[in-house]
Amino acid sequence: MDKRPMSFYFLGAFFIVFLLFLYGPNITIAILSFQGENGGLTFPMRGSSLHWYAQLFERQAVGDFTSALLRSLALGVMVMICTVVFSLLAGLAFRKRFVGSSTVFYLTLASLILPSILVSLGIGLMFDRFGLTPNWFSSGFGSHLTWTLPFGLLIMFAVFNRFNPSYEMASADLGATTLQTFRLILLPLLAPSLMGIGLFGFTLSYDEFARTLMTSGALNTLPLELFAMTTNVTSPVLYALGTVTTLVSLCVILLTLVLLKQLNRKPKHQGN
């Protein structure tokens, strides 16, 4: 291996500084969330305690945090399932040219890059004008899908651009029906990507704020609840909350990575 150039060390240092910039704030609030009972929003630490974490689950301290969390988790799962199924189907559709395919593609792009407040306002107004009551599981659900489906479809494009069709052809040559090819060849090969889409869909929905604003109805999802708290909670309980939600996200990612690893390992065992 040849010697690394000077630029490697500069860029490496730059990368580390960036990571510090990326993680620094999160680490700071994680530390401050263990602030003692008399401590405030900034340093210095006045002792350390789990006081603020205990407060988190008392209704009067921070509003209804637990049910907002549960609501967001439920919505995340609903959105995740639909995103995976609909993106897979649409991805399959786009493997062939069909009339209107470019319109659908540009619509999907538009859904991704149009300002979220527009989508939120539009869906909110639509429900209002038709006399429907907006709810997190109806209008909120729809508005989240406009955000997660484009990511899902773009990932499907990326996957199919690199996908080798000979496996399917071989399976068809050997006399498998379309459904058999799909179930036994396509689905196992696509499984890791589909998990990725699921992970993306879940976390995007779980953190979505702008599109939920006018579409969640009377009950807040977690990000809305968090935003409300930023204006009226002025104790380290906010930091405890931030740390807990970050941990939830991390757990979801880790879980998916572990599952992915399991999934990748399985075929090898069968091969032996």
Partner 1 sequence: MMLSRQIHSYWQALPLTLILLGFLVFPICVILVVSFWDYNEYSLIPDFILENYEFLLTSKVTLKAYLQTFKYAFLSWLFTFLIGFTLAYFLAFHVRSQKTQTVLFLLCTVPFFTSNIIRMISWIPLLGRNGLVNSSLQSSGLIDQPLDWLLYSDFAIVLAYIHLYTMFMVVPIFNSMMRIDRNLVEAALDAGAAPWQILKDIIVPLSKSGIMVGSIFVFTLVMGDFITVKIMGGGIKANVATLIYNEISLLQYPAAAAGAIVLLITVLMMLMILFRLVDVRKEL
Between residue 92 and residue 121, which ones bind partner 1 under the rule CB under 8 A? 92-94, 96, 98-99, 101, 104-105, 107-111, 113-119, 121
Query: Site residues for partner 1, window 188-217 (CB under 8 A)?
Result: 203, 206-207, 209-210, 213-214
29: contact with partner 1 by CB under 8 A: yes
182: contact with partner 1 by CB under 8 A: no
- Nearest distance from residue 61's CB to partner 1, in Å? 17
Out of 73, 77, 85, 219, name the contact with partner 1 by CB under 8 A: 85
- Separation CA 251–CA 75 (nearest Å): 17
Number of residues counted as binding partner 1 (CB under 8 A): 89
21: contact with partner 1 by CB under 8 A: yes
- Separation CA 90–CA 192 (nearest Å): 17
Residue type, 48: S
Q: Binding segment for partner 1 among 48-56, 89-97, 185-193, 263-271 (CB under 8 A)?
A: 89-97
Q: Binding segment for partner 1 among 61-69, 73-81, 188-196, 240-248 (CB under 8 A)?
A: 240-248
